Amino acid sequence: MLDHILSVLIFFPALAAVFGFMIQKESMRAYGIVVSLIEFALSLVLWYAFDNNVAGMQFMENIPLMPAFGINYTLGVDGISVFIVILSAFFTFLGIASLTDTPKIKYMIITLLFLQMTMAGVFAALDAIVFYTFWELSLVPMLYIIGAWGGPLRIYASVKFFLYTFAGSLVMLVGMLFMAYFYHEASGVWSFALLDWYRLVLPENLQLWLFAAFFMGFAIKVPMFPFHTWLPYAHGQAPTIGSVILAAILLKMGTYAFVRFSLPLFPDAAAFFMMPIAILAIIMVIYTAMVAYAQKDMKQVVAYSSISHMGIIILGTFALNVEGISGSIFLMLGHGVVAGALFMLVGVIYDRRHTKLMSEFGGLAHVMPRYATVFGIMMMASVGLPLTINFVGEFLSLLGFYQQSHILTLLAGTGIIVGAIYMLAAYKKAFFGEVTNEANKNLPDINKKELFGLIPLVIVAIWLGVYPKPVLGPIDNSVKALVQLMHDKSTTTLAKERIPDLTAPKMMRAVKTTTEEVN
Amino acid sequence: MLAPINIPLESLNVMTLAPMLIPIIGALLILVLAVAKSGLHKSLYVVISLLFLGMDFFALLNSAGLFSENGTILGMFDVMLIDGLAILAQFIVVGASMLFIPLALTNKRFHEFSYPEFFALFLFMIAGFQFMVATDNMILVFVGLETSSLALYTLIAMHNRDKSFEAAIKYFTMGALAAGFFSFGAMILYALTGSIEINKIAMVLSANGYADMPYVLVGIAFLLAALAFKLSLVPFHTWAPDVYEGASAAMAGYMSIVPKIAGFVVAMRFFEFLVHSHVVWLQMVLYAFVVLTMTASNMWALVQTDVKRMLAYSSISHAGFVMAAVLIGTTQANSALFFYWILFSFTNLGAFSMLWISRQKDLIDGQVSDHSYDKFAGMIKTAPVAAASMGLFMLSLAGVPPFALFWGKLYMISSAVSSGYTVLALIMALNSAIAGYYYLKLIVYMFMKEPIVGANGEIYVANATLALRTIIGIAAMGTLFAFIIINPLLEFITSFVYNSGY
């Protein structure tokens, strides 16, 4: 079974979703919890069986689909993807378990299980077409979640979400076809296998074009400034569970794809575009942080802060060194946990008052102390307080980029400070002071069901903040291999300069001598 | 005194005619039956047609076997040309017809199916298409084209609504014009080369180095216009949406597939050698046709308020997409054409059948047209299975993986990429993105809006019988599980196309 655990992880929820149609309405919730718990347990088995010392792909599977055209059903995980797979199973489980009263709950759970299939598929796929299949397929359940359970503007928001991503990914598909064609030119056989593509060294000008094509697909998904306009609508209209999954997992597909595709396939182009992308990322960090400060709606604050954090992830990824990339992958996990939790928390208050406007609240800490505590912890984690999960990722991402540019890192740092300001301001407005609104006087505190969803997230946020090693270790191993591959593959001097060579004796010696001199 | 002409029967290769003769015999049999005893039920004729189509299919399998052993077969004084293209196209023609004809077994009574002539004409039409693709003799192409077209006009008119008459007359007028163009173009090329066979025309033209280029271009222009009418390429498409609207939904679905594949094969036979001889003007015009057809019809589809008209424009767009194969002209592109069209026929026939089973005799209050978007609002609540299958067909048409049409699009764009048509590949991809919107619009109506008409869901499946459900089931299965069959299918197609020298 361990040989096929990835396929099981992908298709078990889909199969369970199909069977779900037979379940009676009132029992659906229990069914959903059981299925997603099994899925989560399976993902933990994957972690248990995962060899932390191996940098390459593990649990690989390969079934030919269209061998003449080089399309195979190839799966595998390494340190970069394994934790995101686990995180997606984790969030599907928590999401279903803490699902509050939803109309048509049966279809919601079936949709969520299908969504889990596509998410596991995206992160486990090692064939470009299989990756693309799950990538596109993930749009359909999300479209339905936003469109069927969303707010008043739900149809506009869902269609915008779908079309934006769909258009971007078609450009990416053309890029993939070019990649396969160049592989065919170089080796004589068609292949869409990612590990085959890793071995292909392309001339720089081709790399630039292909990088741009892939960038269109990924940047819209992340979403990077200026392609981010679909996200506030999607978050604003989506039901709580939709926002949670969207922020925690779906957005990570874009940043993950940068690490999986753009960097190792086009190292020269990545080095070439490093500065422009870093500038976009910093605009994204600062601009969206400022926009978030101006929001009146609590959910929009979280949505924009989410975009802002994605900027740091991009910055870390394009630091092109081990610290930056490891940090950005860790931040993907951290941001998944924190943003997911914040959206759940906003959902809690929305369920009680059916409004998300901050002006409606105030003094909630008196009425709902437990809620205020959990929100406080998560908000601190979101602004990157040391000993919380986001601190590790943000610190490493910025440390990585500091080696490339001091000034830009400093600017990104100010973005984080603005982030702290708006989050604290929002927290103050909603939770401190007197209870001014009559409607808030008798709000019930969070109930067991909600606590059940939130407590695990709090534990993870603090545990990985204090002791990140079990996760960071495997990530670091795989990232080192990735950076070495990029260095070896790169052809331009710019790329050789920007991507460190891990085999060479490092600058350490120079550092040592200076310290020795001091001594 | 002339010596007696002695032609051994073996040299005629009469077997090459077998696939065409089978439907003709079937049609004659139906006519005889109708004379012998009137008032027989349509189910009898449907089954007889199915039987003959089955035999036809079997005969094609036989030819396919012969082709893969011995290569191209010539027959009947070299008029018949049974190569891979002919066999593949006939497979699509007969296969799609077999999926279409059971759609006559509706719940409600429709005018056309009460006439046995409908089925006779239908089989004659199939024979016409088969002749059209299985020859490179321009006269036989013309005869096949006219046989099938005249039968098709009548089939449309037999739907017996005002709009159907309008559609049939419109189609007939446009078709007559196209026929004129075709014969005129063929005449010019005959005058230039002294031959009516495409391979001989190609030989003579390349032997004299395209000396009379202006005349060649005039001939090409007329033939191109004639084929563009048949394939409904923009700007020769104006008849198509009205005809699709006037014809019954089942017939419209059929028209979006079968006549076009016949047209594509003729276009491929005729334009391929010209594209390869670097007739720049033709390349440019074809490029313009492809881009214009894809893009403009997509734009028009965006603003339609009727699903059937939307699907009509979308079919035009798909035809433009596939026409790119004729422009690109590599083996991969030509294989992609057949590959795409087989997958397309499953999906599109499924989509039109969904409209067909919801065909009403009278409009309900609040309904603007037969298949307005409003009619489908909230369908998931009233008819969930029907809504899910329609959603599936829409996702497939939009090119969402892993459904059928995605693989066709993938292979077609890949063929553009590998022959250096980068910009074309991007235009094709972006058009798929634009098309996403109108397919999505129907999904949004079905899944996310509140029902407006037909609160009990009965109208969506009013026409459904077991036969229709089976056809839709086959189409849905073909769409959903396409990824299993794509590999053998593509290998089969590629070997046939490659061995025919295209």
Q: From start to end of B148-295, where are the E strands? A: none
Over residues A376-403, the pLDDT tens digits come to 999 889 888 888 888 888 999 999 999 8
pLDDT band (50, 70, 90) for residue A518: very low
Residue pLDDT, tens place only, A394-440: 999 999 999 888 888 998 888 888 888 888 888 888 888 888 777 77
Look at residue B16 in the predicted model and tell me its pLDDT.
83
Least Cα distance to B265 among B415, B421, B81, B122 occurs for B81
pLDDT in tens, A100-128: 777 888 889 999 999 999 999 999 999 99
Q: What residue numbers bound the domain in which B484 lies?
A: 15-359+368-499
The mean pLDDT value for A449-476 works out to 89
For residue B8, tell me if it sits in a domain.
no
Q: Is residue B1 part of a domain?
A: no
Each residue of A262-308: pLDDT tens digit? 999 999 999 999 999 999 999 988 888 888 888 888 888 888 888 88
**In this model, does residue B221 exceed pLDDT 80?**
yes
Please answer whether residues B489 and B411 qualify as being in contact, where contact means their C-beta atoms are separated by less than 8 angstroms: no
Residue B411, chain A, CB below 8 Å: the answer is yes
Q: What mean pLDDT, rounded, does chain A reach?
A: 88
Q: Could you tell me the pLDDT band of residue A83, with boundaries at 50, 70 and 90?
A: very high
Looking at the structure of chain B, the number of domains it has is: 1
- Give the tokens for residue B278: 């670097």
**Contacts of residue B447 in chain A, CB cutoff 8 Å?**
144, 147-148
> Does the CB of A467 have a partner CB in chain B at under 8 Å?
no
Q: Half-sphere exposure of residue A124, counting CA atoms within 13 Å on the CB side? A: 30
Question: Is A186 part of the contact surface with chain B (CB cutoff 8 Å)?
Answer: no
Residue of A174, A176, A185, A191 to mutate, testing the B interface (most B Cβ within 10 Å of its Cβ): A174
Residue B27: which region, alpha, beta or left (left: phi > 0; alpha: psi -120 to 50)?
Answer: alpha
Which residue's structure tokens are 């101006």? A294
> What is the per-residue pLDDT across B454-473, written as a single tens digit (0 to 9) for each?
556 777 877 888 889 999 99
> A173 vs B448: CB contact, 8 Å cut-off?
no
With a cut of 80, say whether residue A200 has pLDDT above it: yes
Q: Nearest 5 degrees, angle CA A219-CA A223-CA A224?
A: 65
The whole-number average pLDDT for the span A148-161 is 89
| φ, ψ dihedrals at B64, nearest 5° | -60, -40
Model confidence at A515, pLDDT cuts 50, 70, 90, reads very low
pLDDT value at residue A493: 85
Q: Report pLDDT for B455.
A: 59
Q: How confident is the model at residue A514 (pLDDT cuts 50, 70, 90)?
A: very low
Q: Determine, for residues A158 and B411 on separate chains, whether the beta-carbon distance falls below 8 Å.
A: no
Q: Alpha-carbon dihedral of residues A20, A24, A26, A30, nearest 10 degrees? A: -40
Mean pLDDT of A84-95: 92
What HEC string does B53-82 produce?
A: HHHHHHHHHHHHHHHHHHCCEEECCCCEEE
Chain A residues lying within 8 Å of B422, measured CB to CB: 178
Nearest to B447 among A64, A144, A170 (CB): A144
From chain B, pick out residues whose CB is under 8 angstroms from the CB of A210: none
B459 close to A (CB below 8 A): no
Q: Which of B444, B447, B494 to mutate to test the interface with A (most CBs of A within 10 A)?
A: B444
Above 70 in pLDDT, residue A188? yes
Rounded to an integer, the average pLDDT of A344-349 is: 88
Is residue B470 domain-resident?
yes
User: How far is Cα B411 from Cα B417, in angstroms, rounded to an integer?
Assistant: 10
Q: Do B491 and A167 touch (CB under 8 A)?
A: no
Quote the percentage of chain B above a pLDDT of 70: 98
Angle at the Cα of A188 from the Cα atoms of A184 and A190, rounded to 5 degrees: 45
| C-alpha span between B364 and A177 (Å, rounded) | 48
The alpha helices in A50-149, defined as continuous H runs, are: 79-97, 105-124, 128-137, 139-149
DSSP for A365-424, written as a single string: HHH-HHHHHHHHHHHHHHHT-TTSHHHHHHHHHHHHHHTT-HHHHHHHHHHHHHHHHHHH
d(CA B163, CA B53): 30
**Res B180 pLDDT > 60:** yes
pLDDT of residue A517: 46
* Residue A519 pLDDT: 45
Residue B10 lies in a domain: no
The structure tokens listed for A368 are 């709902």
What mean pLDDT is reported for chain B?
Answer: 89
Looking at the domain assignment, is residue B233 inside a domain? yes
Whether B490 sits inside 8 A of A137 (CB atoms) is no
Q: Does residue B7 surpass a pLDDT of 90?
A: no
Q: What is the mean pLDDT of residues B145-159?
A: 91
Cis peptide before A226 (omega within 30 of 0): yes
pLDDT digits (tens, 9 = 90+) for B251-291: 999 999 999 999 999 999 988 888 888 888 888 999 999 99
- CA of A279 vs chain B CAs: smallest distance (Å): 27
Asked whether residue B486 is assigned to any structural domain, the reply reads yes
- The domain spans of chain A are 1-267, 273-467
* Bridge pairing between strands B80-82 and A58-66: unpaired
- Is the model's pLDDT at A147 over the cut of 60? yes
Confidence of residue B3 (pLDDT cuts 50, 70, 90): confident
Q: CA of B499 to nearest chain A CA: how many angstroms apart?
A: 17
* B404 lies within 8 A of chain A by CB: no
Interface-testing mutation among A10, A177, A220, with chain B (most B C-beta atoms within 10 A): A177
